[in-house]
Amino acid sequence: MTGTKTLIALSAMAAALAAPSTVAAHEASGDARSAEDCSALSGLRLDDAVIESAELVPAQDDQRSLMGDTPGYPAFCRVVARVRSAPDSDIGVEIWLPLQGWEGVFHGNGSGGFAGTFTTGYSGMADGLRRGFATATTDAGTAPASPLEGDALIGSPRKWRDWGRLSTNVMTETGKAITRAFYGREAGRSYYTGCSTGGQQGLIEAMFYPDDYDGILVGAPVIHRTWGHAAVLWDYAAAHRTPGSFLSDTKLKLLNRAAISTCWAQGHALAGDSFISDPMACDFDPGVLQCQAGASDSCLTDEEVATARAFYSGPTNADGSPAYYGWLPGSEVPGLFGWSFLQTPINDQPPFSGLFKWVHGASWDWRNFDFHRNMPLVHDRLGPIVNDATRGSLGEFAARGRKLMIYHGLADTLVAPGQSVDFFNRQTAGIGEAAMAESARLYLAPGVMHCGGGTGPDAFNATLGIPPLPPSDDPRHDMFSALIAWTERGEAPEEIIATRFSTADPSEIEMQRPLCPYPKQARYRGVGSTLAPASFECR
């Protein structure tokens, strides 16, 4: 899966480089390198790696216009390498190396969806570059696939394995070697950031390569990959079961209003909020909207109720018991990566269904797929290759003093929030509460969709650039800054201040609310504006 805002910036580096500028600070300190030093990397020799290009990207100053500010960026050396360590393995690595002001930090970034491109990592790389970090990403070894289309990987199990586990470690080792060659010294610290598929990559790093990074920040991690794709297929099949099963945008908005109203009445939402604070505790049945006197825009037909119930329940076993997770009340929104996306075909196929063609062949037809009969084969064929995030332990990572921060939007409809909660609980049971408290935090973000967006406050991670967070000396306003403060200064992040900016004026703050480390939640104190974070406490 891939992040909502990342896909918007796939084709434009300038758009991806939209984060607060700190150019002047970087140009004032050491480790200065020249265009000639950059070009010289073309001749660098590394095991199994070929440097395809090494070129200078000139600095760009901040620009101001009537259309708003366009932040600049410092000059950097852009290096592209390919690592071919096994037959049918071809992992691309891109790294940006600031010419001046390197802070001695290596920063790895995750991919999105089926990957196949570097551009899904550009948003995080832009933020890392402005911090003075050497910052890298990978195409996960899946080219010519694209984030939304995995058909190119039919018959390529090695590429599945690179995508599922190996490519991020390859990126890290190759990126650190190029960084060392460019600056003449090792990186003193290393951080990783990523969301969705990038979140999965970060958990794999923490559990199986605990020496790669000092701190890891991941969002909406895909933990059970085969069931994750099956959940999307389940929704698509439900919405296309009959001509009347499809949920229009009008019906989605109707569902959303009813869910918020119901959860508010149960005490799981605040009056005036356009999202649900604690949807996991809310009991909502779309049957309350069932039409009684003929179909209309103010009610749901029997077929529409059945579709909505399938979305909430998620895949079930033959006896009707849960086989995986469903989406939570409050997630019923149209638009990019909302419920409407789950119902919309991509190249006449359900979203992200290329994974099933890896098992059943290019002629696979979703109409003939039986979940109870066919999913065991999918798990058997792909589970050992792409489901590593369901296995492994954070024990070694924690024992080394590393830090992990996970966030997940509770209105996510591409990666089920419940699996992040279960992952956290499972790891806590495995290594103990004390070790987890010293090493890991999970933050659940009400009203936030997949990696961002939604009606809740979704600006809390500068690596996502949604929108560019203003500079702040308070690490509580940015998860990456909080991770760095925790890793380097021992300042455990007891709350993160999430912001929602105005859609009419992105510089105007509409509301702020704290995100609390699970299992704590932001509770209203009973006095003060519900738009201000000081009116809430974590408990």
pLDDT tens column, 75-117 = 999 999 999 999 999 999 999 999 999 999 999 999 999 999 9
The residue count of the chain comes to 539
Tokens 């920040």 belong to which residue?
217
Q: Please name the amino acid found at residue 5.
A: K
Confirm if 193 and 406 have CB atoms less than 8 A apart: no
Place of tokens 């009056």: 271
* Strand residue runs (E) in 151-224: 189-195, 215-219
Q: Of 46-50, 302-306, 323-327, 499-503, where does mean pLDDT reach its minimum?
A: 499-503
Question: What one-character-per-residue DSSP string does 20-34 give?
Answer: ---HHHHTTSS----
Phi-psi region of 132 (alpha: psi -120 to 50; beta: other; left: phi over 0): left
Confidence category of residue 20, pLDDT binned at 50, 70, 90:
very low
Q: pLDDT tens digit string along 115-136?
A: 999 999 999 999 999 999 999 9
Which residues are 302's β-sheet partners?
A: none
Look at residue 362 and tell me whether its pLDDT is greater than 80. Answer: yes
Question: Are the beta carbons of 187 and 180 closer than 8 angstroms?
Answer: yes
Question: What Cα–Cα distance (Å) separates residue 309 from each residue in 29, 126, 185, 332, 367?
Answer: 58, 41, 57, 12, 20
The candidate with the shortest Cα–Cα distance to 180, out of 91, 84, 73, 79, is: 79
Place of tokens 């509580």: 476
Q: Which residues contact 259 (CB under 8 A, 6 or more apart)?
A: 276, 279, 282, 284, 329, 330, 332
Do 112 and 197 meet the contact criterion of CB atoms below 8 Å apart? yes
In this prediction, residues 167-192 reach a mean pLDDT of 98
Quote the distance between the C-alpha of residue 136 and its chain's center.
16
Structure tokens at 422: 């279960």
User: What residue type is assigned to position 217 of the chain?
Assistant: L
Phi first, then psi: what are they for 292, rounded to 5°?
A: -110, -25
Share in percent of the chain as helix, strand, coil (round to 5): 40, 20, 45
356: which 2 tokens? 């099933």
DSSP state of 121: G
Q: Render pLDDT for 418-435 as a digit per residue (tens, 0 to 9).
A: 999 999 999 999 999 999
Beta partners for 271?
none
Residue 71 is predicted with a pLDDT of 67
Tell me the average pLDDT across 143-168.
Answer: 96
β-pairing, 68-70 vs 63-65, is antiparallel
The distance between the two most distant Cα atoms of the chain, rounded to a whole number of Å, is 76
83 burial class (0-12, 13-18, 19+ CB within 10 angstroms)?
Answer: buried
Looking at the predicted structure, is the pLDDT value of residue 16 above 50? no
**Is residue 184 predicted with pLDDT exceeding 90?**
yes
Q: In angstroms, how far is the first alpha carbon of the chain from the final one? A: 32
Dihedral (C-alpha) 312, 315, 320, 326: value to the nearest 10 degrees?
-20
Q: What angle do CA 66, 70, 72 make, to 5 degrees?
A: 145
Domain boundaries, the chain: 228-384
pLDDT tens digit string along 225-258? 999 999 999 999 999 999 999 999 999 999 999 9
Residue 22: pLDDT band (50, 70, 90) is: very low
On whether the CB atoms of residues 531 and 501 are closer than 8 A, the answer is no
| Least confident residue range of 6-20, 291-305, 452-466 | 6-20
Q: Structure pTM?
A: 0.93
Radius of gyration of the chain from Cα atoms? 23
Classify 474 as helix, strand or coil.
coil
Q: What's the token pair of residue 191?
A: 């951080």
